[in-house]
């Protein structure tokens, strides 16, 4: 939609709202990305701190039942507390259960499910620094959406992922069940109108799994459209950097090696490794003095970086999910950034994965490679029963797409078009 079309759409939607017709919009559910909502924790008697800094008295700010904000907590900036954060965020894969669980003595919960509250700011006391979906939610309210009436949020424990058929995934499956119930409730409270799903990043993978794990009749009744923002359909090379050398979480003062173990333990991070089906066998993603690794060499890569325990869950729980990206027969719009330097090949020429590599860059949104961002379009190009529309916004990064004025205009314009005219 061009700028003129967007302005007309927004004007019509605002006119409808001012005339008391805000309930005519399709209800909308926001699904955040990895790290895109608050996460709370509580320590039990089973918790065994690894240092004095990590004792059960830290942090001091807890509610009457001992719950505190685990993500996002600004004390992660300080090295001793970074270790506490990492050990409390850690997941453990249990071979006998064939599933992931929290660290012993750490209970977690996701606050405010159904509301947008925990998606707005990762820390409500640091609104400017930790704003996430606040600009998008504000833009949605300007075209008539009302939180709790026509606008809903679906936060989740983003450390967990989903597993292929035949493997349990307690936390991820429970989220899909809760999300399904939220969608049905949102539709029911809005005269049976089907819901618009708006996802960011990892949320898009969850949304696609939700659609394909429910019947086509359910989708037709309850889903109007999926607007997927910055979705890493085929994973990212940047995730290989996270597994090999750790990620600073976008915080330059954080030592990536301190949080690397926790990041490797994340089930969702395994899900975000490059998809062999999309990245291919011939494209080198990581180079060392001993060998090259493509997306078909992920298992060897995990072993060689010192994380052999990740091989079984990757090959048995995650890889089948990557191989089976089915068209849900629901209209999909992908809104993506482009023209931002994005890691494409990592060079570890000393062979030391504790060091940060030299990086060769390609096109993408700074986090997700272009081949992953446009994957649905390439996979389903000849599917007559599946509509996929891709809107590219030049120079906009993976996270700034939720704040950038031009990007927000495109996103709101697409939602306005869906409400006014329906899917193409």
CATH number of the CATH domain containing 135: 3.40.50.1820
Helix (H) or strand (E) holding 278: helix 276-279
pLDDT at 291: 95
Residue among 16, 297, 365, 397 flagged as catalytic: 365
Domain range for 304 is 3-37+112-421
Residue among 201, 230, 268, 416 flagged as catalytic: 201
Span 165-173, mean pLDDT?
97
Per the CB < 8 A criterion, the answer to whether 183 and 214 are in contact is no
The answer as to whether 87 is a domain residue is: no
In terms of pLDDT, which residue wins out, 263 or 21? Answer: 263
Each residue of 93-146: pLDDT tens digit?
999 999 999 999 999 999 999 999 999 999 999 999 999 999 999 999 999 999
pLDDT at 423: 40
Q: How does DSSP assign 171-191, residue by residue?
A: HHHHHHHHHHHHHHHHHHTTT
Using CA atoms, how far apart are residues 343 and 166, in angstroms rounded to an integer? 34
Q: Percent of the chain beyond pLDDT 90?
A: 85
The answer as to whether 159 is a domain residue is: yes
pLDDT at 24 over 90: no
Give the residue among 154, 141, 216, 229 at the shortest CA–CA distance from 185.
154
Each residue of 365-424: pLDDT tens digit?
999 999 999 999 999 988 888 999 999 999 999 999 999 999 999 999 999 999 997 544
The answer as to whether 93 is a domain residue is: no
Using CA atoms, how far apart are residues 306 and 358, in angstroms rounded to an integer? 20
Mean pLDDT score across all residues of the chain: 93
Each residue of 210-257: pLDDT tens digit?
999 999 999 999 999 999 999 999 999 999 999 999 998 777 788 999
421 given a catalytic annotation = no
pLDDT at 6: 45
The answer as to whether 68 is a domain residue is: no
The answer as to whether 209 is a domain residue is: yes
pLDDT at 183: 98
Residue among 26, 397, 398, 416 flagged as catalytic: 398
Contacts of 97 (CB under 8 A, 6+ apart): 168
398 given a catalytic annotation = yes
Per the CB < 8 A criterion, the answer to whether 179 and 32 are in contact is no
Per the structure, the count of domains in the chain is 1
What is the chain's alpha carbon radius of gyration, rounded to the nearest angstrom?
Answer: 21
200 given a catalytic annotation = no
The answer as to whether 53 is a domain residue is: no
């Amino acid at each position: 939609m061009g700028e003129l079309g967007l302005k007309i759409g927004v004007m019509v939607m605002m006119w409808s709202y001012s005339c008391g017709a805000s309930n005519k919009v399709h209800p909308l559910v926001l699904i955040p990305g990895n790290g895109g909502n608050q996460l709370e924790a509580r320590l039990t008697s089973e918790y065994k701190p690894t240092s004095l800094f990590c004792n059960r008295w830290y942090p001091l700010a807890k509610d009457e039942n001992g719950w505190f904000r685990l993500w996002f907590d600004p004390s992660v900036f300080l090295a001793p507390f970074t270790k506490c954060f990492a050990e409390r965020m850690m997941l453990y894969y249990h071979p006998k259960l064939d599933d992931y669980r929290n660290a012993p003595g750490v209970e977690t919960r996701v606050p405010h499910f159904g509301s947008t509250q925990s998606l707005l700011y990762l820390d409500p006391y640091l609104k400017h620094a930790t704003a996430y979906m606040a600009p998008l939610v504000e833009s949605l309210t300007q075209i008539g959406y009302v939180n709790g009436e026509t606008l809903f949020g679906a936060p989740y424990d983003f450390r967990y992922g989903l597993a292929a058929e035949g493997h349990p995934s307690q936390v991820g499956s429970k989220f899909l069940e809760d999300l399904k119930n939220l969608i049905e409730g949102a539709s029911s409270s809005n005269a049976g109108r089907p819901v618009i799903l708006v996802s960011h990043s990892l949320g898009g993978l969850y949304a696609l799994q939700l659609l394909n794990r429910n019947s086509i009749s359910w989708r037709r009744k309850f889903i109007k459209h999926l607007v997927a923002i910055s979705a890493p359909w085929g994973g990212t090379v940047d995730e290989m950097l996270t597994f090999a050398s750790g990620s600073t979480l976008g915080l330059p003062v954080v030592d990536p090696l301190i949080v690397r173990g926790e990041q490797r333990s994340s089930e969702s991070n395994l899900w975000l490794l490059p998809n062999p089906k999309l990245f291919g066998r011939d494209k080198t993603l990581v180079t060392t003095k001993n060998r090259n690794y493509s997306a078909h060499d992920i298992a060897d890569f995990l072993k060689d970086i010192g994380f052999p325990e990740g091989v079984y869950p990757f090959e048995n729980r995650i890889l089948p999910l990557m191989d089976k990206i089915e068209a849900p027969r629901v209209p999909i719009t992908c809104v993506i950034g482009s023209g931002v330097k994005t890691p494409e090949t990592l060079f570890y020429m000393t062979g030391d994965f504790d060091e940060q590599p030299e990086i060769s860059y390609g096109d993408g949104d700074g986090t997700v490679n272009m081949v992953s961002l446009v994957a649905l379009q390439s996979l389903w190009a000849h599917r007559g029963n599946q509509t996929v529309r891709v809107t590219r916004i030049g120079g906009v990064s993976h996270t700034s797409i939720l704040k950038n004025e031009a990007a927000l205009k495109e996103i709101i314009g697409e939602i306005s078009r869906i409400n006014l005219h329906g899917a193409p």
